[in-house]
Structure 1
Amino acid sequence: MKKLILFLTMFVMVLPVRADEGMWFLMFIERLNHRDMQKMGLQLTAEEIYSINHHSLKDAVVQFNGGCTAELISKDGLVLTNHHCGYGAIAELSTPEANYLKDGYWAKDRSAELKPSSLYVRFFVRMDDVSKRILGKVNANMTEAEREKAINQEIALIEKENNEGGKYTVSVRPFFQGNEYYYFVYQDYKDVRFVGTPPESIGKFGGDTDNWEWPRHTGDFSMFRIYGDKDGNPAEYSANNVPLHPKYHLPVSLKGVQENDFAMILGYPGRTNRWMPSGGIEQNVKFAYPAWVEASKLGMDKMKVHMDKDAKVRLDYASKYAQVANYWKNRQGMIDALTKHKTAATKAKVEADFNTWANKPANKEKYGTVIATINNYYSKTNEKARHDNYLTGLLRTSNYAAMPYSLGKGFESYFPMTGAEKDKMTAGLQEAIDEYYGSLYLPLEKDVLAAQLHLYATKSTGYEIAPYIAEIGKANNYDYTKFVNDAFANSIFGSKEKAEAYLKNPNAEVLKNDVLYKLSNDIMTKYRAKTDEQAKLDAEFSKAFRLLVEGMRQANPDAKYYPDANSTLRLTYGKVRSLPKDKRNDAKKNYYTTLQGEVAKYKPNDEEFDLPKRLMELNEKKDFGQYADKAGYMPVNFLTDNDITGGNSGSPVLNGKGELIGLAFDGNIEAMAGDVIFDKDLQRTINVDIRYVLWIIDKYAGAKHIVDEMTIVK
């Protein structure tokens, strides 16, 4: 009995303690989850959720442009996702004269649907377990490099065997720190067109202030349509393409939600680290995340000065700014939550218990040094983590950190070419110049670059910085303003015109001595550098972390484990669930918000809390049509206790019948530790109520023809 109690204590951090925790593989739903889900209110069979041979829910859920989730909601390929997921495409299609981001847009018919330059969706076809096959190629005597090589060779074979001559994209992914492997088969569609979006004052209502907060009143949705060839196959954009008729699309429910209703979410969560050791949490809280937050905020502040002065600049940088801002607040929230809940200390106790088990005679040879190796790794990489996050902040916010390097490498390969090969390369380089410089605003780029260089050079004090940046800093008292201004004035990368002039008369010596090229090359070289000592530490850590997870699972083999998120399709289930009463929410219960509450936040002409006049008028008249709750209010957002993370944005929220009741778009800041540890009391998913989505489309925008496409369940 003592042994059992020890195990239960040891592994409380990694075992699911409630049905609402976990991001589960669809292929194991029948065995691991179906009974729990039925008890909570699911009315579907496991086969209706995931089937290889028949249509199922998985056929209506797609990965959207590599970073979000979306769902099909009509027989003609209509796709619903978040406003912030479509943000980049909407901004690209907008101009100061036709600003769809600011004013919204609704295609009156198929001919008015707009094609962004690059946008795709990915359908999940099937998956399978190849753990035995891959792990059969490795042994305990291999170095980590030998192990990685053997695994990668087998992965290449598996991917080739299953892509059917290039028809499918196949990805083999490791799980449980390399203790299991699965392959995933996908099909990509690249002709995806913009159908509609509410104005930013609805789709981004609350802005950065309300981001990650509850109560929330945001209409975070946008709509697209998938096109294929006449036979329904993926095809490059063509006027002859036709709307895709998917295998399955989701019915849309007008029934609304009540507290404790069953809710499940299918989507592509990006990254969790539930197995992360205490040293990793401590490193993030004290070294990595503070640098991330500081560099992000600096970049945002410098961008915003210029964005506020010019409508075109605001559009051109809207997507970059939004991405940086989102993770800026996320990382600060994680620092606060992980610190408040003493997560590192809690995990350290679990690791101490594991270390006791690992050093018993039967386990010592294999697991005895695992914890010591992991702790040694973090102690020796803390300062590097801080440095790397300042450097990454520079790369994330400044286009000039990497662009001269990328374009310069293209120029380098161009020098020895002749004839047709050179003509082709010339065209390719001109295309790259057009793409790189198309939306750059040079005054903004100068300010961001100079500020980030100063921050990186002066704050990464515990780890050696990039040598050229150090040299410039020492010569200028670490004020990079004059250096940057002079560099832009004299560099071949200082403007589009200069880059094009250089392309007409390239010279290897000029490129070699170009200051912006030297700077960018210095940044990228440092970013990719790995010393022999670091390579050794990485290899030792990789093996130790793998053994930690293996040992924890071996010690308690009958438990149900779910793997960390890694952008593969998962299902999470739980319930509509309230938070304690909050005086900021006018709703009777704190699991939903109302349009009246949204209007109460209204601030005329405010960047974050303005609202369209028409929305205010419709609210005043209580003109909610069939979309009002039976209690009479117009719902906006609601809460569930589903287990999600970044990448789940846009995911469908489904009731027990598999009907669409909302789409996920955020989490609450109190549970920002959720990527590392699930908190059953605090964890919430914030969702747009589908009735609010339909009301905006129909009553606000007058685009009822789009609602009429859907299968509405009343």
Structure 2
Amino acid sequence: MKKIILSLIAAIMLVPTTVKADEGMWFLMFIERLNHRDMQKMGLQLTAEEIYSINNHSLKDAIVQFNGGCTAEIISKDGLVLTNHHCGYDAIAELSTAEKNYLKNGYWAADKKGELKPSSLYVRFFVRMDDCSKRILSVVNDAMSEAEREKAINQEIAKIEKENNEGGKYVVSVKSFFQGNEYYYFVYQDYKDVRLVGTPPESLGKFGGDTDNWEWPRQTADFSMFRVYADKDGNPAEYSENNVPLQPKHYLPVNINGVKENDFAMILGYPGRTNRWMPASGIDQNVKFAYPAWVEGAKTGMDQMKKYMDMGDDLRLIYASKYASTANYWKNRQGMIDALTKFQTAKTKAAQEEKFNAWANKPENKEKYGTVVETINNYYKMTNEKSRHDNYMMQLFRTSGLFGVCRGLGKPLDVYTKAGEAQRKEMAPKLQEAVKEMFKELYIPAEKDILAAQLQLYVTKAGYALAPYAKKIGDENANDFSAYISKAIDASIFGSEEKINAFLNNPSQDALDNDELYKLVNDLFTHYSAKSPELAKAQNDFGASYRKLVEGLRVSGIGTIKYPDANSTLRLTYGKVRSLPADKRNPVSINNYTTLSSQVAKYKKDDAEFDLPTKVLDMEKSKDYGRYADKDGSLHLNFLTDNDITGGNSGSPVLNGKGELIGLAFDGNIEAMAGDVIFDSNLQRTINVDIRYVLWVIEKFSNAKHIVDEMTLVAPPTPKVAPKKAVKKKVVTKKKVKA
């Protein structure tokens, strides 16, 4: 099914297979050869050229990567962008204040002048892609170490990127696939003037909160809207009042006819990362060592943030985005532990590797593949405890804002201190601006508690070989870091914006080198990054063996996956609207959608997760759904499809067979949380916002019909009413009565 550039396995890969159509994250350039016929049978009405074309406008021109981590789509001729609420969350929080809290209360620009520009937000358009495997692989050989191989590949990548960026007009990215057995380059164009058009209030956009996250049924308006701006010629430009809305090559029409069970559904987007080739011992390591530490470390940071967020809107806005991101992965990783354990995924993988090992040790294969499985297993055995240690430390890094300040500013301040007066004068304004941005998202009392709690967790739970300075401080304070951290931050150069600016006015190498907070942060990061000769060798051998495992699984036919793992490149996945088994929590006949009535049934007044605006309650009571009501008379909110997605697909468009927008992907279901490692066709679902609910929130709830009027709506045809036949009046004549 998949195009294979290794001549050794080309014949095998071209043999038809029985891969389910709803499994797979496929390259657009191979759709015609690999998937188009299957998609047509399921309901696709577009040609492959209408999906992906280099020379003509196509669907791919309406799909953008949103700020590097999500997906979004263009839905009007004036560059209107639709994505998830949680994808726009950071930008919305940044634009909010306690007085104008758009995150809490929502916002809709009355006109284009009212659209708001966050400090840093961009969208990335996909221009084209091509295969460069032969070229990349020609510069490496089996005699190279992994470091030598990486260096040679990176040098060739730099040449390819330079050759295709047209003097900086485009961003070019070369990506590895099938664990380094294939390479493709991708050409993009970035637009950096992106402005907030509107967002529903958080009570709708994040309805259900952490409780409902990754669960079905869901009832949430997980969407927000932005607009892309360009210069007068349609080119990318830095923010300017003179910029104009982008006129895109293609935008998506919006279909408000609704969906039903078994309707065709196609999703285009930028899935972040899957690991479906991961070995059994790697899965075991994650389930037993790495993910439990991740979960515990994330929860520790969340608990400290929440304590301060509950004190008021100002503090809540500071930590809202970081808390939401941490909470999302916290629940995801626990779900991964549960699902991978329940379905014994490692056992399934081990059985596959046993077959592979038997094949690998046949005389004709032994030299190349014979020790592959043994080497991989030895590596994971060696690094199990280290993976637990590193995940505790990584959660400390991710949740402690002051750790980020020290890491981000420490080296620049060292350079600044050693620089001459002229260089300092040039550096100072940039450093001051960086400091100002960093401290927007910090509250020092909270930072003290976060760092102290994470350090206590680290030294008591991480095991392995602890960072020496952190261990010393723990030993001296009975592992209670509260007093030490409070004192260290109060005295630190990095303890406030004012102190860093004072240091810039009077730099001192001695003060920097002896800063207690800076010393601790450097100790932690140095220890995290350290690599013994034994570990370096094990990683080298593992890298080579993992690549050979994937190659061997494909050559032998033992591996059944025909598509590459997700790695933040544009992919297409297709399937159908498909229900899960009946759920008593969802009072509908077919459990593939939810309604406004089911949302109101979850309503809890003043609850942080399940409160609702009074207007929604009133509109549900009066059934005020307008043209967005389903044929059954209810307002549909979210629906299920069986598409194959993962993180990064958030905000992806769900399209019908004509390429019309029917929904917005935002989540997966907890039952199939092992999906990043192994696809389960029975359980895996994508949870989507029904586009009719999106439009109802904009037009009916928010009174922002002017936004809907920008879009091209595909509505049900107006029923033809036969003209009434003229009815002849019967003339009644009175009989004359004789006198």
Scaled to the shorter chain, the TM-score interval is over 0.9
Number of the residue aligned with 2:733: none
Q: Secondary structure at the match of 1:451?
A: helix
Is the Cα–Cα contact under 8 Å of residues 356 and 558 in structure 2 kept in the other structure? Answer: no
Number of the residue aligned with 2:544: 543
Q: Secondary structure at the match of 1:298?
A: helix
Q: Secondary structure at the match of 1:232?
A: coil
Q: Secondary structure at the match of 1:117?
A: coil
Cα shift at 1:557: 9.7
Q: CA RMSD in A?
A: 1.3
343, 346, 349: which one pairs with 1:344?
346
Cα shift at 1:16: 7.0
Number of the residue aligned with 1:658: 659
Cα shift at 1:513: 0.4
More moved, 583-592 vs 690-699? 583-592
Q: Secondary structure at the match of 1:146?
A: helix
Cα shift at 1:501: 1.5
Number of the residue aligned with 1:353: 355
Number of the residue aligned with 2:514: 513
Q: Which amino acid aligns with 1:27?
A: M
Cα shift at 1:258: 0.5
Cα shift at 1:709: 0.2
**Partner Cα distance (2:585, 2:128) in 1:** 45
Cα shift at 1:418: 2.4
- 1:275 equivalenced with 2:277 (yes/no): yes
Alignment identity in percent?
Answer: 71
> Counterparts of 1:236-275 in structure 2 under 5 Å?
236-275=238-277
**Partner Cα distance (1:378, 1:628) in 2:** 54
Cα shift at 1:430: 1.2
Number of the residue aligned with 2:138: 136
Is the Cα–Cα contact under 8 Å of residues 553 and 559 in structure 2 kept in the other structure? Answer: no
327, 334, 337: which one pairs with 1:335?
337
Number of the residue aligned with 1:604: 605
**Partner Cα distance (2:421, 2:488) in 1:** 33
More moved, 500-509 vs 366-375? 500-509
- 1:111 equivalenced with 2:151 (yes/no): no
In structure 2, do the counterparts of structure 1 residues 68 and 673 end up closer, same or farther at CA, with 3 Å as the change threshold?
Answer: same
Deviations 1:256-283 (A, max 9, x none): 0000000010000000000000000000
- 1:616 equivalenced with 2:612 (yes/no): no
Cα shift at 1:630: 0.9
Is the Cα–Cα contact under 8 Å of residues 402 and 520 in structure 1 kept in the other structure? Answer: no
**Partner Cα distance (1:489, 1:688) in 2:** 47
> Counterparts of 1:512-661 in structure 2 under 5 Å?
512-556=513-557, 561-661=562-662
**Partner Cα distance (2:593, 2:533) in 1:** 54
Number of the residue aligned with 2:386: 384
Q: Which amino acid aligns with 2:607?
A: D
Deviations 1:392-448 (A, max 9, x none): 010011012232132121111012322432201111221122112123111100000
Deviations 1:2-54 (A, max 9, x none): xxxxx9xxx9xxx8731100000000001110011011110000000000000
Q: Secondary structure at the match of 1:264?
A: strand
Cα shift at 1:474: 1.0
Number of the residue aligned with 1:19: 21
Deviations 1:171-229 (A, max 9, x none): 00000000000000000000000000000000000000000000000100000000000
Number of the residue aligned with 1:451: 453
Cα shift at 1:497: 1.8
**Partner Cα distance (2:103, 2:387) in 1:** 36
> Counterparts of 1:364-375 in structure 2 under 5 Å?
364-375=366-377
Number of the residue aligned with 2:734: none
Is the Cα–Cα contact under 8 Å of residues 402 and 523 in structure 1 kept in the other structure? Answer: no
Q: Secondary structure at the match of 1:142?
A: coil
**Partner Cα distance (2:20, 2:336) in 1:** 22
**Partner Cα distance (2:656, 2:400) in 1:** 43
Cα shift at 1:558: 11
In structure 2, do the counterparts of structure 1 residues 645 and 581 end up closer, same or farther at CA, with 3 Å as the change threshold?
Answer: same
Number of the residue aligned with 1:494: 495
> Counterparts of 1:35-434 in structure 2 under 5 Å?
35-434=37-436
Is the Cα–Cα contact under 8 Å of residues 23 and 562 in structure 1 kept in the other structure? Answer: yes
The structure with the largest alpha-carbon Rg is 2
Q: Which amino acid aligns with 2:629?
A: A
**Partner Cα distance (1:521, 1:35) in 2:** 56
Q: Compute the TM-score of the two structures, normalised by the length of structure 1.
A: 0.97
Q: Which amino acid aligns with 1:177?
A: Q
Q: Secondary structure at the match of 1:362?
A: helix
Q: Secondary structure at the match of 1:539?
A: helix
Q: Which amino acid aligns with 1:362?
A: E
In structure 2, do the counterparts of structure 1 residues 505 and 600 end up closer, same or farther at CA, with 3 Å as the change threshold?
Answer: same
Is the Cα–Cα contact under 8 Å of residues 396 and 451 in structure 2 kept in the other structure? Answer: yes
- Could you list the structure 1 runs, at least 4 aligned residues long, displaced by more than 6 angstroms after superposition: 557-560
Q: Which amino acid aligns with 2:162?
A: K
Number of the residue aligned with 1:441: 443
**Partner Cα distance (1:664, 1:507) in 2:** 52
Q: Which amino acid aligns with 2:404?
A: A
**Partner Cα distance (1:111, 1:587) in 2:** 43
**Partner Cα distance (1:607, 1:416) in 2:** 50
More moved, 526-535 vs 265-274? 526-535
Cα shift at 1:514: 0.4
In structure 2, do the counterparts of structure 1 residues 30 and 560 end up closer, same or farther at CA, with 3 Å as the change threshold?
Answer: farther
**Partner Cα distance (2:440, 2:142) in 1:** 52
Cα shift at 1:559: 6.9
More moved, 594-603 vs 135-144? 135-144
Q: Secondary structure at the match of 2:418?
A: coil
Q: Secondary structure at the match of 2:495?
A: coil
Deviations 1:636-671 (A, max 9, x none): 000000000000000000000100000000000000
**Partner Cα distance (1:413, 1:697) in 2:** 51
Deviations 1:529-572 (A, max 9, x none): 22211111111011000000101111129977100000000000
Q: Which amino acid aligns with 1:656?
A: G
**Partner Cα distance (2:580, 2:220) in 1:** 18
**Partner Cα distance (1:108, 1:417) in 2:** 50
More moved, 97-106 vs 145-154? 145-154
Is the Cα–Cα contact under 8 Å of residues 352 and 558 in structure 2 kept in the other structure? Answer: no
Q: Secondary structure at the match of 2:242?
A: coil
Q: Secondary structure at the match of 2:126?
A: strand
Q: Secondary structure at the match of 1:686?
A: strand
Number of the residue aligned with 1:696: 697
**Partner Cα distance (2:638, 2:114) in 1:** 30
